[in-house]
A and B are shown apart, each in its own frame.
Chain A
Amino acid sequence: MVGSAIEQADVHAVAAATIYREARLLDTGEWADWVAMYSEDAVYWVPAWLDEYTTTNDPNTQVSLLYHDARRGLEERIARIESRKSITALPLPRTVHQISNLEASETGPDEIICHSVFSVHVDDPRVAKEHLRHGRYQHTLRRDGDTWKIARKVITLVNDRVPTVLDFYSI
C-alpha cells in the first residue's frame, strides 16, 4: 500500500532483505549491483575514534576513516579495484559478511532506519593471513518508487587498528 504507513513486520522484512543482499553482493564482488543499491546522494561514513569511547561526529571538521557524501566516491573505489592497477586488490581478499541483531524502525513515510552488527572475515591469499573486522551498521533506507535505496550508511568499526588495507569490501 504505497503512501500509507507500512506494518512493522514489513519494515523489518525490507530492512533485512536490503542489508543481507548488500552483504552478499559485497562478498561475491558484484559491485555494480551493490553500488546501485545506494542513492546517488548517499552518504557512506566510517567515523574515526577520538578516544576509547567516542567516535568523530562531524565529517567536515574531523577526520573519518572513510567518508563519501555521494555514491560517486564508492564508484571510484570500485573503478580503482576493477582497473587491476591497485595492488590492494591483486589478488582481492575473500570476505564473508555476517550480520545480526537487526532492529528496524520506520522514521517517516518513506524512510527506514536500521541498526545491526557485523563481522567481516577477511582472508588474504596474498599473504596467507586472515583477520576479522567487526562493528555496527546504521542504514537509512529511502523509498525510491517500488524499491528501497540506501541513503546513508554509518559504519562504526570497533577494531579500528587496521592491518594494511581498509576498503568498502572489508567492512
Chain B
Amino acid sequence: MNAASQNHAARLREISRLIDDRPSERIFEVDRRIFTDPDVFDAELRHIFEATWNFIGLESQVARPNDFVTTHIGRHPILVMRSAEGKVGAFLNTCRHRGTIVCPFKQGRQKFHVCRYHGWAYDSSGRNISVTEEASGQYPPSFSNQNHNLLPVARLGSYRGFLFASLSADVPQLEEFLGDTRAFLDLIIDQSDSGEVEFVPGASTYTFDANWKLQFENGLDYYHFATTHSSYVDILRKRNATAGPDAGFTAEPEGEQEGQGSFSFDHGHAVNWSIKRTQLYGRPLGMDPARLDAVRQRVGSTRAKWMLRQRNLTIFPNLQVIDILSAQVRTWRPLAPDKTEMVSHCLAPVGESAAARTMRIRNYEDFFNASGLASSDDNVMYEFCQTGYEATTAAPTQGYLRGVADVGHGESAHARELGVTPSEWSFGLPSFGGETNFHPGYREWRRLLQRAAGETV
C-alpha cells in the first residue's frame, strides 16, 4: 500500500467512526458531518453506491427487444438495453473511444447506438459493430485484439422484474443481498394475477438542496407524519367525511392490535409498516371487493391482510418502495453533499381494473413528489435539516433513539406471519414512530467504508 492509499484508508476509517453504534450501551449517534462533509460524500459514492447493488429499473421498462432506458449508479451513467435476442444488459453509458455518452436519451427503442462524436457504433447487446474508418486508422496491431464493446456492469440481477446492478463484483448474490426484503416486494408483485408490475407512464424528476440520507431517513420515519403532513391530513379528513364506498377503504381483521412496527434486515435494508383501525386513505386493491377476494384466495388471508397495510420498504442504498394509497418506487442520485436528484415512478400491478388504476394515479399525484401535497413538505424539511446540520459544532442529533429501549431480536408474531427473520424488529403504539429501523442502513454504510479501508468486516 502506498502513502496515498494509506492516507485514504485512514480517512475512510475516520469517516466510518462518524457512526457511533453501541447497542449494549443503547447508544446510536450520527455525526452531523456525514450530511455536509465533501470527503464523506466522495467516499459514499465510491465505496457505497459504486460498490454494492443498486436498483436500476424494472425489466418491464425494456419489455421488447432493443428497448433501452438510461440511469445512473453513483456517478456512472448507465444504459440498460434488451438485446435483439431478448437478453437484458446493463452497460456503462460511455463510448470506448473517447468516453462520450453513447445514448443521451431517457428511454426509447433502437437496434444500434452510434456515438455522435466519431461514429463508433454498438448494437443493443453492447457489442461494438463499427470503429469508424478503422482500416485507415494506422492503429497498432494490438488494437484489433482489444475489446471495443460497451463495458457491462460487474453484476446484473433481477428479482421478479426488479433489476439491480453492481459496479463491483465483490457483492453477495442478489438473492442473498435482498434477503427477506423479497417478501415485501412479493406483497406488491403478487397483487397482480400474472405476478407482474409496471411503472405507470409519467415519471417525475425533482431535486432538493439537501443530502441524500435525509430522503433515506424520511422514508423510514413515521414519527414525522402527524406534524410535517398535518395540512395534508386535514384535507384527507375532510374528504373522508364524504367518501363513498368506492374510496377503497378496507378494515383490519378483528383482534389485530393497532400499532407501528419495523423489521431491520442485513445489508442495510429495513421496512416499516402500520396497522390501523381507521385509515386515512383507501387502497386501489380495496376499491374492487371482487378482485380483493380473488387476490385473497390466491395469496391467503394473512398476506392479503399485509397487502392492505401501509409498508415503506428501503433497499439500501438507493431504493424506496412505498405501498399505501398508491405505490411508489423512488430512487435518489446524490449530486453533492447538499444536492440530491430524485426519480419517482408510480408502481402498479399489471392487470388491475381501469378504475383502480385511475385511483392509483390520482392518489399518487396527490401524495408524492415535488408537486404532491405530502412529499413537497418533506423536501422542504430536508433543506431545513441540511441548513441545521451546518451547525457542525453542535452535539450529535437525538434522532436515532425511539425504540432503542425495546428493540426486538429473534421471534416476533408479525415476522412469523410473513415468514421473515429480521435481524431486529420493533412494534409500538400508533404514535410510536420508531427510529431503530434507521440503524441497519447506517451499519451497512459503516461496514462498506470499513471494508474499503481494508478492515475485515
Please report A residues at the B interface, Cβ cutoff 8 Å: 46-48, 50-52, 56, 59-67, 76-77, 79-81, 83, 85-88, 126-127, 129, 160-167
Contacts and interface: CB of A to CB of B under 8 A. Distances in A.
Interface stretch (B270-278, B312-320, B372-380): B372-380
A165 B379 contact: yes
Nearest to A50: B201
B228 interface: yes
A61 B358 contact: yes
B361 A59 contact: yes
Given A60-B354, A63-B364, A165-B376, 18 more contacts: A46-B371, A48-B202, A51-B106, A52-B105, A60-B357, A61-B200, A67-B362, A76-B235, A80-B235, A85-B234, A88-B377, A129-B209, A161-B206, A161-B341, A163-B370, A164-B379, A165-B371, A165-B379
B67 to A, nearest CB: 12
Contacts of A62: 200-202, 361
Nearest to B228: A87
Contacts of A129: 209
A162 B376 CA distance: 11
Contacts, number: 123
Contacts of A88: 376-377, 380
B207 A51 contact: no
B212 interface: no
B452 interface: no
Contacts of A87: 228, 377, 380-381, 384
B332 interface: no
Nearest to B230: A85
Nearest to B107: A51
Given A63-B346, A80-B232, A80-B234, A164 B376 contact: yes
30 contacts: A46-B371, A48-B204, A50-B201, A56-B201, A60-B357, A60-B358, A62-B202, A63-B204, A63-B365, A64-B361, A65-B371, A66-B371, A80-B234, A83-B234, A85-B230, A87-B380, A87-B381, A87-B384, A88-B377, A127-B209, A160-B205, A162-B371, A163-B370, A164-B208, A164-B376, A164-B380, A164-B383, A165-B370, A165-B379, A166-B371
Interface string B174-194: 000000000000000000000
B235 to A, nearest CB: 5
A85 B373 CA distance: 12
A56 B234 CA distance: 30
Interface of B: 105-108, 200-209, 228, 230-232, 234-235, 341, 346, 354, 357-358, 361-362, 364-365, 369-371, 373, 376-377, 379-381, 383-384, 387
A65 B361 contact: no
- Majority DSSP secondary structure for residues of A touching B: loop
A166 B200 CA distance: 20
B34 to A, nearest CB: 21
A77 B373 contact: yes
B309 to A, nearest CB: 24
A47 B204 CA distance: 10
B357 A61 contact: yes
B209 A161 contact: no
- Which of B107, B228, B354, B383 has its CB near the most chain A CB atoms (within 10 A)? B383
A20 to B, nearest CB: 25
A133 to B, nearest CB: 11
Given A80-B373, A126-B380, A164 B206 contact: yes
A127 B390 CA distance: 14
B365 A64 contact: yes
A59 B361 CA distance: 8
Contacts of B228: 87
A63 B201 contact: yes
B46 to A, nearest CB: 25
Given A87-B384, A162-B370, A167 B376 contact: yes
Contacts of B234: 79-80, 83, 85
Contacts of B369: 65, 166
B383 A127 contact: yes
Nearest to B326: A63
Contact of B207 (A46, A81, A83, A161): A161
Given A56-B201, A62-B361, A86 B207 contact: no
Contacts of A81: 231
B221 to A, nearest CB: 15
A165 B373 CA distance: 10
- Which of A46, A51, A88 has its CB near the most chain B CB atoms (within 10 A)? A88
A83 to B, nearest CB: 5
Contacts of B361: 59-64
B198 to A, nearest CB: 11
Contacts of A50: 201-202
Contact of B377 (A51, A86, A160, A166): A86
Given A50-B201, A67-B365, A83-B234, A164 B371 contact: no
